Amino acid sequence: MTTHRIRTGDLLQAHSRMITVLGPLSFREPAALARTLRDLMAPHRRIGLVPEPGARHWSFDREAGAPRVSVAPPCAPDEVDARLTELAADRAPKPPIALTLAGDYLFVDMCHGLGDGGLIEMTNVALAAGTEHPEVRKWFGGKETRNPLLRSALGHFLAEPSRLAEGVRLLRGAPAAARAESPRPLRDWRPQPALAHATIDPEAAVRLARYREKTMPGVSLAAVLFARLHAELGAAGIRTDDAMTVVYDCRRYLPENSRVRGNFVAGVELRPTDPDDPAALHRAMVGAGATGKPLATMAAQVLRDRRSGVREVRLPTSVVETPRARLGASYLHCGAGLSELPWRSGALGTYVAFVEPAHPELIACTVMRRRTVFDITATYHANVFEPAAVQAALAALTTWPPEGHRIPLGRAS
């Protein structure tokens, strides 16, 4: 039996899953969908691997690792979020990749240890557009880059002498700033994953882009959306942490033709001077990327793994009585494969992801950009944060800024 060596990032995600929904589209029959993924099965493509948490080598098995396809009753557009939440709440054992075809919508439930958002996006493109699509052929074709973390770290930190000293400092880590507060009372807790979802349509996206260009030139749309969501959560009555965890795709540090199909992203803690101010958050995001903090974060994980081994991430059994939301933010710019699909009935289409938060006080926001359409999701635990408040915060993003209004940015002084 063939085996495939697994990196630390994959082991850290081996116990979690990511679920996407794509539609409305005219999908092929279940047997054809299964054949599509069977045609892609290969150890270096990750499809067909059987995750074994804690093991350094995972087996490649065409039977045990084969995707399972099931059929569910047709899903209406207003049922997508509920269906996605139901799948996420299902704790029954699942194969590495499970597909559920529900009429015009396809749900892909994948072990997160196989890869990150890049892998599941290309899997969706293959299922919707076929394995001959140029993006699919490029992603799954060719060999993976060997030692990607080492190559990216050497390329980044040795490019300028000042970066090397900064890299060493980041790797050693800086002491966390202590909060001057008393311990907060705890209560018993168990997971209750939930999803909020909103879509910024092309008209609202154009209004947002023009407002940004006029009032915040040079500030990224990611920073604008994350800062506004942080502010809107507070406006909806949710206490928020000033720190924010932003996910970086570390493929940015590799040469253009490099290929990494496994997990190669890092969540970096940022503490902008004002998390509600897009410009302040943008500076923090750019600064972290320029110094190589995402690479240092990944390297620190590898060192911890080699010293003490990767331990299973277990959710706590208690939560504070007065929770403070930590925003986890991820921005994915989808390629043409998901931006040019023939949506049914002239719909804008939907492509959203559900990744269960790893901590009760985390609200994980994912922005999926398909050219001029932004699908925004927030996953959280409904017994920690009020669902209506989270949904209201996301809904506010779809109408911001109102026509003809200049909205103050950042916190009121």
Q: What are phi and psi of 233, to 5 degrees?
A: -60, -45
Distance CA 56, CA 247 (A): 25
Q: Of 407, 324, 348, 18, which Cα lies nearest the Cα of 198? A: 348
Distance CA 19, CA 202 (A): 25
Sheet holding 68-71, edge to edge: 68-71, 97-102, 105-111, 17-23, 350-355
Query: What is the distance of C-alpha 295 from the center of its chain?
Result: 17
Pairing of β 240-249 and β 325-333: parallel
pLDDT for res 406: 53
3-state secondary structure of 391: helix
End-to-end CA distance of the chain: 64
Distance CA 396, CA 402 (A): 10
Query: How many residues are listed for the chain in this entry?
Result: 413
**Domain 2-140 falls in which CATH fold?**
Chloramphenicol Acetyltransferase (3.30.559)
Sequence ranges of the domains in the chain = 2-140, 150-172+188-397
CATH assignment of 150-172+188-397, given 3.40.720.10, 3.20.20.20, 3.30.300.160, 3.30.559.30?
A: 3.30.559.30
Distance CA 135, CA 119 (A): 12
State the CB neighbour count (10 A cutoff) for residue 220: 16
pLDDT for res 159: 85
pLDDT for res 176: 44
User: Is there a common fold for 2-140 and 150-172+188-397?
Assistant: yes
- Tell me if 65 sits within 8 A of 94, measured CB to CB: no
Give the pTM: 0.92
- Tell me if 323 sits within 8 A of 384, measured CB to CB: yes
Pairing of β 373-381 and β 362-370: antiparallel
Per the structure block, which two tokens stand in for 65? 């690792």
In order along the chain (413 residues), what is the average pLDDT of each group of 10 residues? 89 93 96 96 96 92 94 96 93 94 98 96 97 95 93 90 76 53 83 95 93 94 97 97 97 94 96 97 96 93 79 82 96 92 87 92 96 95 97 94 60 51
